[in-house]
A = this chain, B = another copy of it.
Amino acid sequence: MLSFAEENYLKTIYHLSTTDKEDVSTNAIAETLHTKPASVTDMIRKLSNKGMINYRKYHGVSISDEGKKVALTVVRKHRLWEVFLVDKLKFNWDEVHDVAEQLEHIKSPLLIKRLDEFLNYPKYDPHGDPIPDENGEFQIKPKVPLSALDLNASGIIVAVNDSNSLFLQYLDKIGAYLGAKIKVLDKIEFDNSLEIMIDNKRTVFISKEVSENILITE
């Protein structure tokens, strides 16, 4: 049985090895976990002894099959809980992370099985990230800029490319938010701006720049 700390290290190593390079550096782990490199070295040795990672001194670590299994279970739990929080408890997307970070460590296979069932076997979390199944299998849903959608196509906002606060304030002003449903009502060829419908409620015009910085899924 792994501790919370061990699970968090594995999750981080797994994420870094998929988003960055396969071999993960001590410093990279320390940075994402807000811990010191010396502490990481200690934990690395422990996880290596447990067969969760492959470790060669001074050469970073890679995750083992066993470690990947654990990491994917934690990710699965995290994302299922996020769906629960948003779908059932009406949390906003920006409120779920810290809570899911705690809930992901609850140990009970039955709980996860039942939660999955209760949520109707979701394949993606509210951010559009895939939820691994019991075997760790999942399929990534492509995220495309809103500017790439066809006329009359629709999708959900799952991320933004540019997260400076002026941009976010603008999105807020027009009623766009993570999770909002967008439909492309018109594509203005003159300046590549778009007329879009947000949440079947309001229609607005947005510039090419804006549409390139909003990421959509589905």
Does A200 touch B at the CB level, under 8 Å? no
**Mask of A18-35 contacts with B, CB within 8 angstroms, 1/0:** 000000000000000000
SS of A interface (majority): helix
Chain B neighbourhood of A103, CB < 8 A: 103, 106
Which 5 pairs of residues, A with B, have the shortest CB-CB distance?
A89-B114, A99-B108, A102-B106, A99-B111, A89-B118
Chain B neighbourhood of A107, CB < 8 A: 102
* Contact yes or no, A106 B111, CB < 8 A: no
A99 to B98, CA, bound (A): 20
A99 to B110, CA, bound (A): 10
Chain B neighbourhood of A118, CB < 8 A: 88-89
Count the copies.
2
Could you show 17 A-B contacts with beta carbons less than 8 Å apart?
A85-B111, A88-B118, A89-B111, A89-B115, A89-B117, A90-B114, A91-B110, A91-B114, A95-B110, A98-B108, A99-B106, A99-B111, A102-B106, A102-B107, A102-B108, A103-B103, A103-B106
CB distance from A40 to the nearest CB of B (A): 23
A99 to B108, CA, bound (A): 7
**Given A89-B117, A91-B114, A103-B103, 14 extra CB contacts under 8 A:** A85-B111, A88-B118, A89-B114, A89-B115, A89-B118, A95-B110, A98-B108, A99-B106, A99-B108, A99-B110, A99-B111, A102-B106, A102-B107, A103-B106
Return the chain B residue nearest A111 by Cβ: B99
**Mask of A116-141 contacts with B, CB within 8 angstroms, 1/0:** 01100000000000000000000000
Chain B neighbourhood of A91, CB < 8 A: 110, 114
A92 to B191, CA, bound (A): 61
A133 to B95, CA, bound (A): 23
